[in-house]
Amino acid sequence: MIRVVLPAHLRALAHVDSEVQLEVTGPVTQRSVLEALEARYPMLRGTIRDHTTQQRRPWLRFFACQEDLSHEPPDAPLPEAVATGTEPYLVVGAIAGG
Amino acid sequence: MSKVRVLVGTRKGAFILTSDGKRENWDVSGPHFAGWEMYHLKGSPVEPNRLYASQSSGWSGQVMQRSNDGGKTWETVGNKFTYDGVPGTHQWYDGTPHPWEFKRVWHLEPSLTDPDTVYAGVEDAALFISKDGGQNWEELSGLRGHGSGPHWQPGAGGMCLHTIILDPSNPSRMFIAISAAGAFRTDDSGKTWKPINHGLRSQYIPDPTAEVGHCVHHIAMHPSRPGVLFMQKHWDVMRTDNAGDSWQEVSGNLPTDFGFAIDVHAHEPDTIYVVPIKSDSEHFPLEGKLRVYRSRTGGNEWEPLTKGLPQSNCYVNVLRDAMAVDALDKCGVYFGTTGGQVYASADAGDTWAPIVRDLPAVLSVEVQTLS
């Protein structure tokens, strides 16, 4: 079971109030986790990754195990601790705005 | 008895204000979509409980919402806005070519006849249509494909398509406006478009009478007289009597003709409203006095409406989509400010009172008159 922590505004959009738990089949990568997330919560499509390019939206970052994975290749394996559910995969909103 | 529902989009959520036909006591619902920028909400004229809303944020981009119960509950619909074909470039602020990039939906215009059909005006400027209640969106690319597209340039607020007006007497005719390209008309349901900017004069562009490049802020029409349009341009209030083929200035005795919002009385096609703003660099009312100006002669002769509006130390703005009218008798007029007030007049502008005073900055106001 993969654990995903979303920023507050995306939790509200997805109607969840805590971290999300997902089943991911096959290799656990950023792409497979985000695809499983969007399949379960279709309202999140386009809000984390661009619909067409699949690029991360610029004001969001991806963290796990105290590392910034935002610039890692989408098909690179995520840390074992994320794959086993020990540690969450975090989608983090930039500190910005007013 | 009739009811009024006011749909308010703000920088940090949406609010729905409801009252009976007296328009004295108001219920306030919201914030809906708290924390998100709500550029625009609008209801279907044929099915008033069908609402569409544009929800966006710098973090997560565009989300579209639809309600079938007048805003009590909402469902997320499609947010995939893909330009048709190779998007090409428009001009950037410095005059260099810049790729067309979708940023957000500024304005939603539901069809006059079909609750599942809705138009969306977006930034970077383009017009999209959904025929399935907002699930799927298709660009009407004839507009952006008009030969002038590569010369369009953004205004300070971005290159946005912010005004969509459907002609109730001619289903094939539609008007749109873009900052800062100008106004355009289609007579074939969006396949081809014609710039309708003859008569506009803009000193801030190299050729003040150019075919495109004018910063049109908003356009309003009375449905009984669809060939007559009123425009608040960056500077100048304008009028056309031939569906945009030519415009003449009707600023008349306005103390300043800069502004954003403009609207037409529901029952008097020659009664129009604007909110004069001091200048393009000082986006607040002259002398700190919030005054709506009304013309009962289709322009040129204007009277200030001040009763109930702050007449000192008021430095808010009223944005382009933040004024609307109801269809009751007497006509109600509503506008929202960047200071978070929504003012209403139940007597066609003679007197005003705030419905709410402390919302986030108001981006848009739409009104539904419900039986």
**Where do we find the tokens 């908003």?**
B218
Please report whether residue B353 resides in a domain. no
> A60: distance to nearest CA of chain B, Å?
6
Per-residue model confidence as pLDDT tens digits over B359-371: 999 999 999 999 8
Rounded to whole angstroms, the Cα distance separating B287 from B61 reads 38
CATH code of the domain covering residue B133:
2.130.10.10
> B101: distance to nearest CA of chain A, Å?
11
Please report whether residue B26 resides in a domain. no
Please report whether residue B18 resides in a domain. no
Between CA B46 and CA B53, with CA B52 as vertex, the angle to 5 degrees is 155
> A43: distance to nearest CA of chain B, Å?
6
Q: Chain B residue with minimal CA distance to A97?
A: B58
Other residues' Cβ atoms within 10 Å of the Cβ of residue B157: 16
Please report whether residue B219 resides in a domain. yes
Residue B111 has pLDDT above 70, yes or no: yes
Tell me which chain A residues have a C-beta less than 8 angstroms from the C-beta of B79: 45-47, 51
Residue type, B331: C
Model pTM score: 0.96
Tell me which chain A residues have a C-beta less than 8 angstroms from the C-beta of B36: 9
CATH code that applies to domain A2-93 = 3.10.20.30
Please give the backbone phi and psi of residue A40, each rounded to the nearest 5 degrees, phi first: -80, -30
Peptide bond into B20 cis (omega under 30): no
Per-residue model confidence as pLDDT tens digits over A26-72: 999 999 999 999 999 999 999 999 998 899 999 999 999 999 999 99
Total domains present in chain B: 1
Tell me what the mean pLDDT of segment B31-56 comes to.
98
Band (pLDDT 50/70/90 cuts) for residue B94 is: confident
Q: Following DSSP, what letter does each residue of B262-294 receive, concatenated?
A: EEE-SS-TT-EEE--BS-SS--S-GGG---EEE
Q: Which of A51, A91, A92, A95 to mutate to test the interface with B (most CBs of B within 10 A)?
A: A51
The domain of B150 spans 38-316
Nearest to A13 among B58, B63, B82 (CB): B63
Q: Which of A87, A81, A89 is nearest to A35 (CA)?
A: A89
Is some CB atom of chain B closer than 8 A to the CB atom of A70?
no
